[in-house]
Chains A and B, each alone.
Chain A
Amino acid sequence: MSLIVSSIGQGLLWAVLGVGLFLTFRILDFADMTVEGTFPLGAATAVMAISHGMDPLLATLLAFAVGALAGLITGLLYTKGHIPILLAGILVMTACYSVNLRIMGRANVSLLGKNTLFKNHFLASLPQYFDSVVLGTTVMVIITTVVIYFLQTELGQGFIATGDNQTMARSLGINTDNMKIMGLMVSNGLIAFGGALVAQNNGFADVNMGIGIIVIALASIIIGEVAFGDLTLNQRLIAVTLGSILYRFVLLIVLKLGFQANDLNLISAIILAICMMLPVFKNVLNFKHIVKRGLDTND
């Protein structure tokens, strides 16, 4: 039972990454590698700020700002520097590695004995693992609501149009460069915010904690889409959180099968590859329908 609660909690905390990546991967329609750097960047920023006595909430928000700054750099390289987005992301990701070491001074910094968001009176009074469920739910409700509201504004519609059809967006006077920069900033801000949350939950920040992040974030997006089928944009955003929780369940099962934590990146990559190939399989044996059936509790 506690394992299931723990998985739900982890799924909720990591869902921030899914929503962050959704903005670039699904709406702007490109893969942003920067996130592999901004996740540990957010963790490092928050951990060091907390170590220096900053309030954990402020430290987490600071992580968002620093992540957004990294996104800004990727955005400028991409739009103004005309560097292909994949390479622009890899450049900033690589640079972040050094920056993270600079921030932390060493490869791993512990939060042992330090104040964190999870040590707040109310959260600390909850049974084990429920703290991340409550905090994760709160965070995801706020973030998802804000993103959904934003996408329904005039600006948000321009943002969607940019990813959907750049030529049209420009011909209607939408500044597509600004939209891409904004998307990259918010996306990386959210990823860094997620890094700050995860670091506080784990009790440490590690310079290597960014490896495979894009796969994990993609997994929550894709699993959510595969599991729930045809959805509206708003529903798809909510499905990301559910997909993130489902993904944690899958990992739980995999660990129960006897795999080690070190195998998780391999497993994650395989899960994601299978999910992304589902449309191909679907034609052969209607696989998606079977998966959906299996997960649909209403039948």
Chain B
Amino acid sequence: MTKPLLELKDVVLKVNRHTPEEITILNHLNLTVNDGDFITLLGSNGAGKSTLFNAIGGDLTIDSGQILLKGKDISHESVEKRTRFLARVFQDPKLGTAPRMNVAENLLLAERRGQRRRLAPRRLNKQLERYEKITATMHNGLDQRLTTATGNLSGGQRQALSFLMATLKRPEILLLDEHTAALDPQTSQDLMHLTNQRVQEEKLTCLMITHHLEDALTYGNRLIVLHHGQVTFDVSGEDKAALTTEKLYSFFADIE
């Protein structure tokens, strides 16, 4: 049996606490993520998908419940501490990279994710050859632009770099928040292929938010639908493989 890597137990998260506008975003949510799961996460706007990621990442503190990593309660750990096991790719290509630093510098920063940053020389030149090889796997010319400031890259290149940065130092959990949504269809598809390839090769545990039903069906071993802050649909393995877009559409029609 696969063992649970991440568990969310009865998680409640509210925004605008103690004001008339108080809204419960995560409503007694329970979710167990197993080691090696590649979960695609669906849900309408406001279902709580991004909030779920922010709760796991520590950007938002939960009101009640528990978040456990390998059985250890991490509900109150800081964002910085959680980066030791967690990597994220955001939807906005601008959020994932430092625009005035070059590609190699960004990679070097990512390689020390979650580790102490010492007052020791960064030793970038030693890594350049390796970085060239790694970026070449993206097949989008990134390897030729290692010394280019990331602000001057195309959106597709920046997002590919963000993804590379998230996986450079193997995360125990990878959170992808619609990371291909801001790209044109072709670039988006290329990055999705690369993502899948990397997740399979490295056997990463990954949660991916998407609005593409096809992507949600094609990729991953498990599919989850979030609705009003709860998991309302959770299929994996053969059940997921048997799922079609029609079935999903009718499911969505039912819950609305």
Contact = CB atoms under 8 A, between A and B. Distances in A.
A, B: real partners: yes
Interface of A: 149-150, 152-158, 160-161, 164-165, 167-175
B11 to A, nearest CB: 21
8 contacts: A153-B119, A154-B120, A164-B101, A167-B90, A168-B95, A170-B80, A171-B57, A171-B83
A167 B148 CA distance: 21
Given A152-B122, A171-B88, A165 B117 contact: no
Given A153-B121, A154-B119, A155-B119, A164 B100 contact: yes
Interface string B128-169: 000000000000000000000000000000000000010000
B66 interface: no
Contacts of B117: 153-155, 157-158, 174
The size class of the interface chain B forms with chain A is: 20 to 34
Contact of A153 (B96, B110, B115, B118): B118
Contact of A152 (B95, B118, B121): B121
A161 B80 contact: no
B109 interface: yes
Contacts of B122: 152-154, 156-157
A282 B241 CA distance: 59
A12 to B, nearest CB: 27
B99 interface: yes
A161 B83 CA distance: 16
A158 B109 contact: yes
Given A160-B98, A165-B99, A173 B115 contact: yes
Given A153-B117, A157-B117, A161-B101, 20 more contacts: A149-B121, A152-B121, A153-B118, A155-B118, A155-B119, A156-B122, A160-B101, A165-B95, A169-B98, A170-B80, A170-B83, A171-B79, A171-B87, A172-B83, A172-B109, A172-B110, A173-B112, A173-B115, A174-B109, A175-B80
Contacts of A175: 80
Contacts of B217: none
Contacts of A164: 98-101
B94 to A, nearest CB: 8
A173 B120 contact: no
Interface string B54-93: 0001000000000000000000000111011001101000
Contacts of B96: 168, 171
A170 B96 CA distance: 10
Nearest to A160: B101
A161 B122 CA distance: 14
Contacts of A155: 117-119
